[in-house]
Amino acid sequence: MTAVHPAEGTLEGRTAVITGAARGAGRACALAFAAHGADLVLLDVAAGIPGVPYPLGSESQLAHTADACRRQGADVLTAAVDVRDLAALTELRERTHDRFGAPHVLVNNAGVVAPSGLPLHETPEEDWQLMVDIDLGGAWRATKVFAPAMVERRSGSIVNIASTAGLVGYRNFAGYVAAKHGLVGLTKAGALDYASYGVRVNAVCPGNIRDEPAMDGRMLSEVARALDVPAAEHEELFTADQPMNTLVDPADVAAAALWLAGDGSRRVTGTTLTVDAGYSAR
């Protein structure tokens, strides 16, 4: 009989950095990690970004996430950081090391789904650059900043929150699809770069995530807006497109990220874990 690793299922004594942590899947990941013993560095842009046509996570939402994690016993450091800002990420690394030492886990969750809704040839260059810079470049920058200490320690787990858009195409979402395909590629390349150092890199590819009120989710409603789907009908219409006849909950994404962060997946690297109620199986 194969022995169970003694640390499997727990993140006790470990620190996780989570980007885009103010709400949605980022908040769900933070809560799950806190429940399993991790201390946390939670960052979010915590402000609007010019060119993104919907409200992003706020300082109050980031504070709400942090307070909920502290109630579960986690020590939490928060920061309002734009993942496009390498200098700000570097400064946060120094604060992280001062507070916790080198982190054990990095969850690259920060991302936007719009500006979208236009055919590729009608997409303005500034919209394309914005999408790629946040959804792909943000993960590259955070990894560039936080991975070296993992390499030096020769252990760590990097979890990139991609999307089924990293596996298949979606009409009128060329920038988002290209960025998420790029994130899957970054995952595979990073896994090979760091394998000999004991640092694992994996991706979670969620399908349509329910805008759960407790998580202050917003992304699915923004996809509906970009596709001109009526707000009152969007959840029903998206559900009908899933083989399991259900949307993905933020907690489903968090559970996948938690497994990839912990020792239960210690021989898993370079993979994409798809959490999409069967959508991409067709």
Q: Which positions are catalytic?
A: 176
Q: Could you tell me which of 10, 48, 2, 77 has the C-alpha nearest to residue 262?
A: 10
Q: Which residues have CB under 8 Å from 35's CB, separation 6+?
A: 72
- In this structure, are residues 102 and 153 in contact, taking their beta carbons and an 8 Å threshold? yes
Between CA 41 and CA 47 the distance in angstroms is: 18
CA nearest 103: which of 71, 72, 76? Answer: 76
Q: At what angle do helices 86-100 and 137-153 cross, to 10 degrees?
A: 30
Q: What is the DSSP string of 86-99?
A: HHHHHHHHHHHHHH
The three-class DSSP label of residue 264 is helix
Query: What ranges make up the beta strands (E) of the chain?
Result: 15-19, 39-44, 76-80, 105-108, 156-161, 199-206, 272-275
